[in-house]
Amino acid sequence: MMKKDKSDYAIQTVEHALDVLEQFLENADELGVTELSNRLNLPKNNVFRLLATLESRNYIEQDKFSEGYRLGPKNIQLGLAVVKRMRLHRQSRPVLEALVRDCDETSDIAILRGSHIFYLDAVESNHPVRVVPRIGILLPAYCTAAGKVLLAGSTDMVQKNYLAVEDFKQNTPKTITDRNEFINQLGNIAMQDYALEDEELDVEVRGVAAPIRDYTRGVIGALSIFGPTVRFSKARMDDELVPLVKKAAEEISQRLGYCAPAPRLSKKNVFCSDIFSEVAVTP
């Protein structure tokens, strides 16, 4: 007897409810019944009942004035529960806190999701004037230090697919919009192992980022320090913040099992990098 695929057990109503929630993944802050009905190709009455059910469990809430629907607080609770269980989050948190104590600037951890970056965690600076981290929000990768580090450490296929679909929108006068210039910058970032952000996403905001690797030597995340340009002079970024972020990113990487490759001196030498490449390690 052939074993059924799990998709054969899917409940259509549950799938429709999840479809409603996923409509808010992009840039839609609020959506109405009519728009959701058109997007999902479902009758308005069905959409209304789905929304009412989700609203009763706090996954959806309705604005009393606009009457539009938006994501409710229950989604934040679920998201944070997932983040807390992620190994990257557990291993990076103490390093993140120590980094902020050293430089007193906001720092965060980000991962790549498609053509965007997603901030998993952050620790804020004590300065009254600081940049607020955007945890849980998708941001374009090409104009952020974290995004550039993540793309520079990606495979050729990931980079090729990214360049094929990204439109390189001009967010500020300093945003890089030329594909060839961006490709050259990724090459430099890969060699120097860090990236800079100079008012490319937000005016008067600069940042530095370094890659986080695991036991496979692959880049799985990025550690960033960012803040207002008034405190982020280019001299401070080069002399203080870049060394700090690289050191902290390396510490997180080592916690995840990363061991930097070393040149092979003789056939008798066995380095930790060789061990990790030949032995399956459970993350």
pLDDT tens for the chain, 283 residues long, are: 555 565 666 788 999 999 999 898 766 789 999 999 999 999 999 999 999 999 999 999 998 888 999 998 888 778 766 665 567 877 888 999 999 999 999 999 999 888 889 888 888 888 888 887 788 778 999 999 999 999 999 988 899 989 988 989 999 999 999 999 999 999 999 999 999 999 999 999 999 999 999 888 889 999 999 999 999 999 999 999 999 999 999 999 998 888 877 655 444 443 333 333 333 333 3
Q: Where are the domains of the chain?
A: 11-76, 86-255
Q: Residue 28 in 3-state DSSP?
A: coil
For domain 11-76, which architecture applies? Answer: Orthogonal Bundle (1.10)
CA 68-69-75 angle, to 5 degrees, is 155
Q: Which residues face 69 on adjacent strands?
A: 31, 62
Question: How is domain 86-255 classified at the CATH fold level?
Answer: Beta-Lactamase (3.30.450)
Chain centroid to CA 248: how far? 18
Measure the CA–CA gap between 131 and 129, rounded to whole angstroms.
7
E strand or H helix at 228, and its extent?
Answer: strand 219-228
Q: Which residues face 110 on adjacent strands?
A: 119, 222
The pair of three-digit structure tokens given for residue 270, joined into one six-digit string: 């066995």
This prediction has a pTM of 0.67
Q: Residue 69 in 3-state DSSP?
A: strand
